[in-house]
Amino acid sequence: MSQLSLSQLVGRHWLGRPFAAAAAIAAGLFIGSAPAQAQETFKLGIVTFLSGPASESFGVPARYGAEYLIEQLNKGSVPAPYNKVGFGGLKIEPIIVDENGGATKQVQELRNLYQRENVDAVVGYIGSGDCLAVAPVAEELKKFLILFDCGTPRIFEDASYNYVFRTAAHATQDNVALARYMKSRNVKVDTFSLINQDYAWGQDSRADFIAAINQLYPDAKMSADLLPKFGAGQYGTEISALARANSSVVYSSFWGGDLQAFILQAGPRGVFQRGQAVFSAADHVLQALGDKMPNGAIIGARGAYGLMAPDNALNRWFFPGYSAYRNGTYPVQASYRMVQALLGLKAATEKAMAANGGKKPSPEQLADALRNSEWETPGGLIQMRNGNGHQAIQAMAIGRTRWDADKKMVLVEDIQRFPAECVNPPAKMKSLDWIKAGFPGAKCD
Amino acid sequence: MQLALTILMDGLIYASWLFVVALGLTLIFGVLKILNIAHGSLYAVGAYMAANAVTFFAAWGFGGWYALLAMLLAAAVTALLLGPLLERGLLRLFYGRDEVILLLVTYALFLILEDAVKLIWGVNPYYVTEPYQLFGNVAFESMFYVGYDFALIGLAIVCGLIVWFGLNRTVFGKIVLAVIFNREMSASMGVNVDRVHLAAFTVGVFLAAIGGAFTAPMISVQPGISVSVIIVSFAVIIIGGLGSIEGAAIGAVVVGLARAAAVHLFPEAELFSIYLVMAAVLVFRPEGLFQRAAARKI
Amino acid sequence: MTRKNLTLLAVAAIAALALLGLALPRWLLFLCTMAASHGIVSVGILLIMRGGLVSFGQGMVFAIGGYAVALSVTHLGISDVVVLMLIGTIAATIAGAAVGPLIARYSGIFFGMLTLALSMVLYGILIKSTAMGGSDGFNIPRGTLLGMRLEGGTGDYILYVLTIVSTGLASLAVAIHTRSARGLVTQAVLGNSLRVEYLGVSVQSVMAMNFTLAAALGGLGGALTVLALGHIEPTFSYWTQSGEFVFVAILAGAQSVVAVFVASLALELVRSFSNLYFPNTWQMALGLFLLAIILFLPAGIGSLWSRRAGGKSPEPKISASEREAAR
């Protein structure tokens, strides 16, 4: 509380904030670490996009998810088995930091969180590049880190960590599940066109989707293969190219503002009437787009989230609770992923405290408790199966959109659920190799 | 042949969008000698204002074609509010200092406006899609184009002509040209240079805002839309020659066609297309396509 | 100041800073390492700026230095930090020497824009290079010094000392160079380039030389950054990164190399603390800070202590009439 309370104290005066900041900077510089705390709390660093292109779609929904859950946890009003106050009785004290600004800044801020703010754990990171950059830092400092959203499989496939975890499945399952859904629904794929952003997410999703389609539809031919730059905003030319290609399926891994702009511009030009639209991560744009969302588009949510979330006790609590907290906006992918990370951290903390006699657990104890564990969340069961028990796998859902004029919202129908082991590679196999080998060991019940 | 026509059409539509955005940038550079990095933020403000204005008009029963008027008014209000505020309140303090300093001042302004926009409008997306359907669809070969895209070409031509006419055929425009050509001499001949600066900057803001306002119907207005505008519009005016209106037009067409050709023929190269054109032009005509060679002093 | 005094002063400063590092908390130690390794890139910009040009593409040499180091680690198995540092510097120097003569004939804003375009082309190529991780980049393990792996607090401190010593010596070399006959020609170019040509000196080769030296400093900065960060990605070459280097150079002012490091440190501190205390408006806080410095310290941070600041203009001195003529 030391530095925060100072700014809260003077925060009432209009000049207070800069003053408080200056004072706090001075305090931070010369005193360094915070003095002993009156009542012990669990200091939690949360890193998510608060500005920039990823803020609207992922960063801020994740932040609201964290704020809502932490408020409820500190009141002790989350349903069992999470009904204990805070983390094992310790109130949670969040410190929220903006992820915008590149990997160099993230490495620096992560060190500041651990070494200056003395946080007990950090949960964060949406950008794959950021995840990749910060993971070795936490490992080297021997501090506890949960990556909650980023998609690249490389993190635990290229390296192994003791203190770093990812509590959500990586991006491979998105495209494998899409292809499996299309196959099981007998979607005709004579030719397919692709439009993806020209950076790692788009490039990786493209490779995964092509590999998965080649497995399940060996005769399908690829026509247009477009790679506009991230954040382009104007897709008229690409849409012409898609229209000319006239293929039976149009796939995109676009997200956020780019996806919305693409749908707004492609819709009137008939792209979605000519071919089946397939979007790998689109649940977060349904509320914003409303009736502009094409009917019958096959969409994924990077997990069983939002309208595709399972009907379990936790989701019956979370979905309406969050919606009320956000004045009617229901939770989507990033909110769910933040919540599953925090619930995992809570479960691990309480498991570690049960083992160490109720003290605040060390990073090692937290890591031992979380490794290979599993826990229930509003989005279903999370299992730390891959990456030596550091990488989660989870069940997936894919569905089709339909605009309901009476309810004035886009519904997701014809939902098919895929068990985690049906769409995720086994522990010792790299994702793309697994797809190209024909999904060996996949268990689709 | 059909492909060539498609490339031409796509290129021109994209070029018209580029031109409207770049026109304000090149005008501000011509008169104030400021390469305004905050131009993209002003574009974003225009888009947000348009989103609000169209919704507001519709709520009062002025839907349909009135939306175009609403977008125009939104750009005008943005310009009248922000133009004088930023020019008189901020940029004026730095006149006479090096071009690079002014560039950095606008970079700081860009940072400030990014957060200011977020404080005012939040991070939720705004939509004003109704105007996008106003002009219906146009069939072309085996596909459609949205009529609004062609309306954008019209908007670009109108904006370009008005600015050109204003500069070359009106008294005030001639004064502005005199200031562009030689500021000190104009001042000593009794020209109120301050007023010229204010007017030029406000018109520049208006052009940025109108670019944003008329793009708003095609996109989701949300944080991050400003950044993508900056670099492409820089490229356009550098290719055309800084401070030149004809140059901005040619630059926009060159960039638009190059990008369209890349998308249709070599989609892998789209990312580079703009920078490669820019580097190539700079290598062969370092001052841009439409810049007079600089006189060297002795 | 004589060359001897300058050298003594610099060595004393480096030693003092190295000792100070023992007292700093680890987060601040890392922040200082970053500030110094970024600051040296801005020193390079200062070198070019003395001739009246500003490069908006130093991110390019910064990235080349960084990627050269990272690839040497992953592909050649080199782990010694001093060797890696030299590799990064040399790679960027070669790139600078190749590009320098081509772009040295451009003047004013066009020089800036061409360097910007080149750095963005490199950025595009790096994004496309999926073998090098594309836009996500890739990680390298901590380096070694004399066979000892640099880990934990000691490793942080050794990297800090390495950064302070190498950037300090490089800055000293720059300071000596700018006072030498060769270095002073640059100032003459700023005064009147045509007369310099008439005196038999090739302005173009002077500028190419400056660009190459700046590239070496940029490569050194990139190498040091990657060694401390353990990660590299294409944003090293993005225009915002280049813009930040220019910003630090301008904040510092033209007289003092030391001021560049102070400015770089100030920028990192303000960014870090505003990010913590105003997570929603840190960009605004940063922007206001930058405006305040430009407005209230027109001669740069260096003017706070540099005596010469009183008489001289901080920025490349181009009068209004000259600018008209240059147009």
In this predicted structure, what is the pLDDT of residue A137? 92
Radius of gyration of chain C (CA): 19
CB–CB contacts below 8 A, A to B: 126
C185-197 confidence digits (pLDDT tens): 888 888 777 888 8
Contact in structure between B79 and B45 (CB atoms under 8 Å): no
Residue of C nearest to A97 (CA): C279
Task: Give the residue extent of every domain in chain B.
Answer: 2-284
Interface of B with A in 251-280 (CB under 8 A): 259-260, 263-264, 267-268, 270-271
- Which chain C residues are within 8 Å of B31, Cβ to Cβ? none
- A35 pLDDT above the threshold of 70: no
pLDDT at A73 over 80: yes
Residues of B in contact with C291 (CB under 8 A): 90, 105, 108-109, 112
For residue C137, give the nearest of A20, A97, A129 by CB distance: A129
Contacting residues for C51 by C-beta, under 8 A, at least 6 apart? C186, C187, C189, C190, C206, C207, C210, C316
Distance in angstroms (rounded) separating the CA atoms of residues B247 and B237: 7
> Which residue of A17, A46, A108, A201 is the best one to mutate when testing the C interface, meaning the one whose CB has the most C CBs within 10 A?
A108
Closest chain C residue to B30, measured at CA: C327
Q: Which residues of B touch C295 (CB under 8 A)?
A: 93-94
Which of the pair, B50 or B181, is modelled with greater confidence? B50
Mean pLDDT score, A20-46: 59
The answer to whether B45 and B82 have CB atoms below 8 angstroms apart is yes
User: Which fold, B2-284?
Assistant: ABC transporter involved in vitamin B12 uptake, BtuC (1.10.3470)
| Inter-chain contacts counted by CB atoms under 8 A, chains B and C | 128
Mean pLDDT score, A270-296: 92
CA distance C251 to C259: 8
Task: Taking each helix axis as running N to C, give the angle between helix C152-179 and helix C3-23, from 0 to 180 degrees, rounded to the nearest 10.
Answer: 160
C81-104 in b/e burial notation, b at 16+ Cβ within 10 A? bebbbbbbbbbbbbbbbebbeebb
- The C-alpha atoms of residue C279 and residue B129 are separated, in whole angstroms, by 32
Contact, A332 vs A301, CB < 8 A?
yes
CB A233 to CB B115 under 8 A?
A: no
- Tell me what the mean pLDDT of segment A52-67 comes to: 92
How far off is chain B from A245, nearest CA to CA, in Å?
Answer: 10
Interface contact C133-A154, CB threshold 8 A:
yes
Dmax (CA) for chain B in angstroms is 66
Q: Does B100 touch chain C (CB under 8 A)?
A: yes
Query: Does A28 contact C at CB distance below 8 Å?
Result: yes
**Backbone φ/ψ region at A441: left (φ over 0), alpha (ψ -120 to 50), beta:** left
CB contact under 8 A, C279 and A109: no
pLDDT reading at A253 higher than 50 = yes
Pairing mode, if any, of strands B137-140 and A298-300? Answer: unpaired
CA of A383 vs chain B CAs: smallest distance (Å): 33
Q: How confident is the model at residue A14 (pLDDT cuts 50, 70, 90)?
A: very low
Residue B189, helix vs strand vs coil? coil
| Residues on chain B touching A285 (C-beta within 8 angstroms) | 220
Q: Do C54 and B276 touch (CB under 8 A)?
A: no
pLDDT at residue C1, rounded to an integer: 64
Residue of A nearest to B257 (CA): A237
Q: What is each CA distance from B284 to B51, B255, B278, C84, C105, in whole angstroms?
A: 42, 16, 10, 37, 12
Q: In C, which residues are within 8 Å of A5 by CB distance?
A: none
Higher model confidence: residue C103 or residue C59?
C59
Chains that touch B (3 or more CB pairs under 8 A): A, C
- What ipTM does the predicted assembly reach? 0.89
Measure the CA–CA gap between A158 and A131, rounded to whole angstroms: 13
CA distances from C127 to A229, B93, C138 (A): 10, 40, 12
Per-residue pLDDT for A79 more than 70?
yes
Cis peptide before A81 (omega within 30 of 0): yes
Instruction: Nearest chain A residue to B118 by CA: give it.
Output: A51
Kindly identify which residue of chain C lies nearest to residue A115, measuring between CA atoms: C27
Nearest-angstrom CA–CA distance, B145 and B131: 15
- Which of A362-366, B243-247, C22-26 has the highest mean predicted lDDT (pLDDT)? A362-366
- For residue A41, list its beta bridge partners: A91
Paired tokens of A287: 């509320």
Q: Which residue has the higher pLDDT, C279 or C215?
A: C215
Residues of C in contact with A128 (CB under 8 A): 136
Judged by average pLDDT, the poorest of A436-445, C36-45, C102-111 is: C102-111
Instruction: In whole angstroms, give the CA distance from residue C21 to residue C15.
Output: 10
Quick one: pLDDT at residue C306?
67
Burial category of A142 from C-beta neighbours within 10 Å (exposed 0-12, middle 13-18, buried 19 and up) = middle
Q: Indicate yes or no: CB of C235 within 8 angstroms of CB of A7.
A: no
Domains along chain A? 3-169+309-393 (3.40.50.2300), 172-308+395-436 (3.40.50.2300)
Q: For residue A243, list chain B residues with Cβ-Cβ distance below 8 A.
A: 142-144
- Contact between chains at B228 and A231 (C-beta distance less than 8 A): yes
The predicted pLDDT at position C321 comes to: 42
Pairing verdict, β C231-232 and C138-139: antiparallel
**Neighboring chain C residues of A50 at a CB cutoff of 8 Å:** 279-280
Per-residue tokens: C177 = 């160079």
Instruction: Please give, rounded to a whole number of angstroms, the shortest distance from the CA of A412 to a CA of chain B.
Output: 21
Is B282 near chain C, with CB under 8 Å? yes
The minimal CB distance from B115 to the residues C281, C321, C323 is found for C281
Mean per-residue pLDDT over chain A, rounded: 88
Residue C275: the pLDDT is: 82
Q: Nearest residue on chain C to A142, judged by CA atoms?
A: C152
pLDDT at site A26: 46
Which of C242, C276, C278, C281 is the best residue to mutate to test the A interface, defined by the most A CB atoms within 10 Å of its own CB?
C276
Q: DSSP letter at B141?
A: T
Q: Does residue A228 or residue B99 have the better pLDDT?
A: A228
Enter the pTM of the model: 0.88
Cβ–Cβ < 8 Å for A402, A411: yes
Residue B180 tokens, joined = 């562009």
Q: Domain extents for chain C? A: 3-239
Separation between Cα atoms, residue A217 and residue A191, nearest integer Å: 10
Query: Across the interface, do A56 and B270 touch by the CB < 8 Å criterion?
Result: no
Candidates C69, C311, C115; CA nearest to C210 is C115
Residues 57-116 of C with CB under 8 A from A: none
For residue B84, give every residue at least 6 positions away whose Cβ sits within 8 Å of its Cβ, in sequence order, or none.
B198, B202
**Token code pair at residue C185:** 């020609």
| Shortest Cα distance, chain B CAs vs residue A203, angstroms | 11
Reply yes or no on whether the pLDDT at B31 is more than 80: yes
A116 touches chain C (CB under 8 A): yes
Supply the pLDDT for residue A38: 53
User: pLDDT, tens digit, for every residue of C142-173?
Assistant: 888 888 888 888 888 999 999 999 999 999 99
Specify burial of residue A307 (Cβ count, 10 A radius: 0-12, 13-18, 19+).
buried
HEC string for chain A: CHHHHHHHHHCCCCCHHHHHHHHHHHHHHHHCCCCCCCCCEEEEEEEECCCCHHHHHHHHHHHHHHHHHHHHHHHCCCCCCCCCCCECCEEEEEEEEECCCCHHHHHHHHHHHHHHCCCCEEEECCCHHHHHHHHHHHHHHCCCEEECCCCCCHHHHCCCCCCEEECCCCCHHHHHHHHHHHHHCCCCCCEEEEECCCCHHHHHHHHHHHHHHHHHCCCCEEEEEECCCCCCCCCHHHHHHHHHHCCCEEEECCCHHHHHHHHHHHHHHCHHHHCEEEECECHHHHHHHHHHCCCCCEEEECCCCHHHCCCCHHHHHHHHHHHHHCCCCCCCHHHHHHHHHHHHHHHHHHHHHHHHCCCCCCHHHHHHHHCCCEEEECCEEEEEEEHHHCEEEECEEEEEEEEECCCCEEEEEEEEEECHHHHCCCCCCCHHHHHHCCCCCCCCC
What confidence tens digit (pLDDT) does each residue in B208-252 have?
999 999 999 999 898 888 888 888 888 898 888 888 888 899 999
Which two tokens mark A124? 């964060």
For chain B, report the end-to-end CA distance as a whole number of angstroms.
Answer: 54
Contact state of C108 with B99 under an 8 Å Cβ cutoff: yes
Tokens 């995992």 sit on residue: A344
The tokens for A273 are 């009437």
Determine contact: A224 vs chain B, CB below 8 A: yes
The answer to whether residue A205 scores a pLDDT higher than 70 is yes
pLDDT at B291: 63
DSSP B143: E
Contact B210, B75 (CB under 8 A): yes
Phi-psi region of B122 (alpha: psi -120 to 50; beta: other; left: phi over 0): left
Collapsing DSSP states into helix, strand and coil, what is residue B80?
helix
